[in-house]
């Protein structure tokens, strides 16, 4: 069976190939995955970013999504449209400090079952309260990992990489 393409979805003000995405992309490539990371910096509008991601996923299904901050919200919201596509386009979500339930963002839509979603959040995140991730994970039955780090998770790249590798292994077992 062909492995899904992994789409990385960067945050509001970061770029498509920042340190975190490069690190996780290397892990995915070592595990035999192809990866993509679109540049969403042309817009801060989350709905426009969702459409860009959905369009990209339509071109090469199936996919896994890994989103950080605003990119986590974008991946989650896009999941509602992607799971409805023919051929089970979306297989799972790996969300890092996702911008869920925060002022200024529309309510998210969700298409994945909670058991195909892993969330990683920093205890000391000053931008997006970790309690938002706790409430979401509890409501939807997602795996949740809280790390001794801040919003960007820059001090936990090794641990984040291990969690991402474990997520990919778990998704392979579900395919």
- Give the CATH number for residue 25: 3.40.50.1820
Half-sphere exposure of 110 (CA within 13 A, CB side): 19
Q: Would you place residue 87 in the very low, low, confident or very high pLDDT band (cuts 50, 70, 90)?
A: low
* Domains of the chain: total: 1
Range of 152's domain? 5-174
Nearest to 5 by CA among 171, 174, 119: 171
pLDDT tens for 91-104 read: 889 999 999 988 88
Q: What is the pLDDT of residue 145?
A: 97
Q: What is the pLDDT of residue 88?
A: 59
Classify each residue of 8-18 as buried b or exposed e, where b means 16 or more C-beta atoms within 10 Å of its C-beta. bbbbbebebeb
CA dist 171 → 55, 131, 162 (Å): 23, 26, 14
Whether residue 16 has pLDDT greater than 60: yes
Q: What is the pLDDT of residue 86?
A: 57
Average pLDDT of every residue of the chain: 89
Q: What is the pLDDT of residue 1?
A: 55
Say if pTM beats, i.e. exceeds, 0.85. Answer: yes
């Amino acid at each position: 069976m062909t492995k899904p393409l992994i789409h990385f979805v960067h945050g509001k003000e970061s770029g498509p190939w920042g340190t975190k995405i490069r690190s996780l992309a290397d892990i995915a490539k070592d595990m035999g995955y192809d990866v993509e990371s679109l540049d969403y910096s042309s817009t801060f509008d989350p709905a426009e970013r969702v459409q860009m991601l959905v369009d990209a996923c339509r071109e090469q299904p199936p996919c896994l999504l890994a989103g950080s901050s605003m990119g986590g919200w974008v991946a989650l919201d896009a999941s509602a449209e992607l799971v409805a596509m023919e051929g089970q386009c979306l297989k799972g979500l790996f969300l890092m400090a996702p911008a869920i339930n925060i002022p200024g963002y529309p309510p998210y839509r969700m298409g994945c079952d909670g058991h195909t979603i892993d969330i990683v959040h920093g205890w000391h995140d000053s931008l997006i309260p970790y309690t938002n991730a706790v409430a979401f994970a509890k409501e939807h039955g997602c795996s949740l990992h809280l790390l001794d780090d801040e919003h960007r998770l820059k001090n936990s790249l090794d641990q984040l990489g291990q969690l991402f590798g474990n997520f990919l292994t778990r998704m392979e077992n579900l395919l």
